[in-house]
Amino acid sequence: MSDAAPLPPSADAVATLPLAGVLGWPIAHSRSPALHGHWLARYGIAGHYVPLTVAPDHLAQVLRTLPLAGFVGVNVTIPHKEAVLALADVVTDRAALIGAANTLIFRPDGRIHADNTDGYGFLANLRQHAPDWHPEIEPAAVIGAGGAARAVVASLIEAGVPELRIANRTRIRAEQIKAEFGAKIVVYDWAQLGNMLDGAGTVVNATSAGMAGRPALRLPMEALAPGTLVTDLVYNPLVTPFLEEAAARGAVTVDGLGMLLHQAAPGFERWFGQRPEVDEAARAAVLA
Ligand code: NAP
Q: Which amino acid is it at 276?
A: P
3 lies in some domain:
no
77 lies in some domain:
yes
Q: Do both 92 and 169 map to the same domain?
A: no
Select which of 36, 38, 81, 150 is catalytic: 81
Q: Phi and psi of 249, rounded to 5°?
A: -95, 10
Confidence (pLDDT) at 16: 77
Q: Do both 90 and 136 map to the same domain?
A: no
Residue 207 near ligand 1, beta carbon < 6 Å = yes
Alpha helix stretches (DSSP H) within 9-87: 32-42, 59-65, 83-87
Structural domain of residue 230, as residue ranges?
Answer: 119-255
Tell me how far the alpha carbon of residue 206 lies from the centroid of ligand 1, in angstroms: 6
Residue 234: name the closest of 200, 206, 274, 203 by CA. Answer: 206
Confidence (pLDDT) at 1: 45
Q: Whose C-alpha lies nearest to ligand 1, atom 46?
A: 170
DSSP helix/strand/coil, 100: coil
139 lies in some domain:
yes
Q: What is the CATH number of the domain that holds 135?
A: 3.40.50.720
Q: Do both 132 and 186 map to the same domain?
A: yes
Half-sphere exposure in the Cβ direction for 112 (13 Å, CA): 25
107 exposure class (CB count in 10 Å sphere: 0-12, 13-18, 19+): middle
Q: Do both 95 and 22 map to the same domain?
A: yes
Q: Do both 151 and 248 map to the same domain?
A: yes
For the chain, what is the domain count? 2
Q: Do both 92 and 35 map to the same domain?
A: yes
198 lies in some domain:
yes
1 lies in some domain:
no
Q: Do both 107 and 231 map to the same domain?
A: no
Q: Do both 124 and 250 map to the same domain?
A: yes
Calculate helix-pair angle for 280-287, 257-272, nearest 10 degrees: 100
Q: How far apart are CA 264 and CA 49, in angstroms?
A: 12
Peptide bond into 139 cis (omega under 30): no
41 lies in some domain:
yes
Q: Do both 188 and 278 map to the same domain?
A: no
153 lies in some domain:
yes
191 lies in some domain:
yes
Q: Is 184 labeled as catalytic in the residue annotation?
A: no
Q: Do both 87 and 157 map to the same domain?
A: no
- What residues have CB less than 8 Å from 3, skipping those under 6 apart? none
Q: Do both 104 and 156 map to the same domain?
A: no
Tell me how far the alpha carbon of residue 252 lies from the centroid of ligand 1, in angstroms: 22
Q: Do both 163 and 220 map to the same domain?
A: yes
Q: What is the CATH number of the domain that holds 54?
A: 3.40.50.10860
Q: Is the pTM of this model over 0.85?
A: yes
Ligand 1 atom nearest to CA at 169: 47
Residue 213 near ligand 1, beta carbon < 6 Å = no
pLDDT (tens place) for every residue of the chain, 288 residues total? 445 677 666 655 566 799 999 999 999 989 999 999 999 999 999 999 999 999 999 999 999 999 999 999 999 999 999 999 999 999 999 999 999 999 999 999 999 999 999 999 999 999 999 999 999 999 999 999 999 999 999 999 999 999 999 999 999 999 999 999 999 999 999 999 999 999 999 999 999 999 999 999 999 999 999 999 999 999 999 999 999 999 999 999 999 999 999 999 999 999 999 999 999 999 999 999
